Amino acid sequence: MQSDNKASKKSSTASSVRDFFVWCAIPVAIIVLLRIFVFGMYVIPSKSMENTIMPGDRVITTKLSPRMVSLKRGDVVVFKDPSNWLANEGNTYKSDFLIKRLIGLPGDTVECDGAGQPIKINGVAIDETSYIKPGDQPSSFAFKVTVSADHVFVMGDNRSNSADSRYHLNDSEHGQVPISDISGVAFARYWPLNRLGTLSNHSDVFANVPDPSSSSSSD
């Protein structure tokens, strides 16, 4: 009888350990792995993306882009500071990362003729009213740049308060962000709760933009 009780206790203990791993340890391990390899969480340090994202908002990114999923025009990207941009960003939350909207992919020519004029990509004007902060204009000054290989051109949605690619054309990366410095693409706000929601890349804005190769061949 005693041996039966001991065997029963051992079986019960083994069952409890097994249940712990099934219901606690394994789910926690999965969450940790997802956090490390798939998802990132970042606080927004400045006003450069208003009204899409406000200072202090928390966003979730997918780390699958750009490593496994291709970047797209309009993506909201989180990236490491390429050339001391944060010094001009009003970095309230002391973040080491910036967040902007991807406007130009490698090979794209991004330009604007000046105040009151639209942004053009590969010669095609885009309508950015769906995400630019109300009352803002696409750019208050003229510029033109062809995006280098393995880089992207980014701009804030709050154009009048965003020290983005336009303002860094003379720095070491010529105002462009190395794709290797992109940590992920933001797809949702998770804090504060009253601003919980998804983030769009507004793909329709860029639907008529030709690839750089077809644009140059038609010139």
Catalytic site residues? 48, 100
Q: Which of 208, 49, 18, 42 is nearest to 133 (CA)?
A: 49
- Segment holding 58, helix H or strand E: strand 58-62
Distance CA 178, CA 187 (A): 20
Coil, helix or strand at residue 39: strand
CA 40 to chain centre: 10
User: What Å distances lie between residue 211 and 20, 104, 109, 167, 200, CA to CA?
Assistant: 53, 11, 10, 25, 21
**Backbone φ, ψ for residue 108 (5° rounding):** -65, 145
- Coil, strand or helix at 80: strand
H runs (alpha helix) in the chain: 2-20, 26-37, 64-67, 212-218
Q: Enter the tokens of residue 46.
A: 């400045």
